[in-house]
Amino acid sequence: MERPARTESPTIGELGESRTLARILPRLASGDAALLGAGDDAAVVAAADGRYVVTTDLLVHGPDFRLAWSTPFELGWKAAATNLTDVAAMGARPTALVVAIAAPPTTPAAVLEGIADGLHEGLAALAPGAGVVGGDLSASTVLTIAVTAFGDLEGRAPVLRSGARVGDVLAHAGARGDAARGLALLFAEGTDAAGEPDPERAAEVRARHPELVAAQLAPHPPVAAGVAAARAGATSMLDVSDGLARDARRIAEASGVGLDFDGEALGADLRVAFAGAEDHGLLATFPPGVEPPAPFEVVGRIVPAPGEVLIDGRGIDAEGWDPYSGWDGRSG
């Protein structure tokens, strides 16, 4: 999946906006829904049933990624993946992305080309037919990637967080805790003596734990499972990006019910599974008697305990990722 890094490249400051865009845009496809792609002041994207799902997300160097650990290709892939799962969680099929990048003028153009390649191949793998239809470039002291994603409901009602009912089956699709394990390894073994990210040590971590590091830096979420869940009659659903416990509580509070997880179904390391963020799996509920479609696995049930998250009937704390908690403002 990862492409080799270029050894020589002009900076985006040397090229300027127009020539930088000329290097990036040919690497991206507009996708099947684009009636008019990049090149004008705005794109035109088909919304066949008269509605569209829209979401946006930021990746900022420091709190969200470290260039010492991530390749540009991985950044592009992750930027696509994190937005595609939000669209999928509504039961929609992703159709288009708009991508804005702010970067220091000293950034090699090859970095933006790598991001574009990651976006392109991430879309091809996770949401075939979707594409990048436009965006923007700007200068900044910190590399920042902002993505807005659009999706087609294809005539279905959106699947909300507020639809779970007592008696529903609770099911999950995707990894549980792998991204957190990968990040913990990078912090523990991929840093120098001062605790700063170190590329050489990170490479050693990659070699020893390739799947866990990939789960953090270039996740492969079950995007297609969102539409499958909606077609199967899912009553509620969301993207698990901030930790299973924290996101489960969001369904519990929105629906006025309790989510009771089966500890055996979740596996041995419950703390990592519940507190670990950025797996970008899907958590959904289904009516009694409905078999959740693959790759969903039944992990619990909905009970009359409004706003509560439980394991085997006992309450737990809703740990997980909060961008404003525990961050000291240092760049990675």
Which parts are annotated binding residues for substrate? 64, 278, 321
Cβ atoms of 37 and 125 closer than 8 Å: no
Write out the binding residues for Mg(2+): 41, 55-57, 86, 136, 239, 242
**Cα–Cα dist 69/191, whole Å:** 10
Length of the chain: 332
Phi and psi (nearest 5°) for 161? -75, -15
Task: List the binding residues.
Answer: 41, 55-57, 64, 86, 135-136, 161, 239, 241-242, 278, 321
Q: What DSSP character marks residue 149?
A: E
Neighbour order of strands in the sheet with 53-60:
53-60, 144-152, 93-103, 131-139
The Cα 111–Cα 5 span in angstroms is: 8
Long-range pairs, 265-272, Cβ under 8 A, ≥24? 265/297, 265/298, 265/299, 265/300, 266/176, 266/299, 266/311, 267/176, 269/177, 270/311, 272/177, 272/180, 272/181
Starting at the edge strand that comes first in sequence, how are the strands of the sheet with 236-240 ordered? 236-240, 281-286, 169-173, 297-303, 258-261, 309-311, 314-315
Name the binding residues for ATP: 135-136, 161, 241
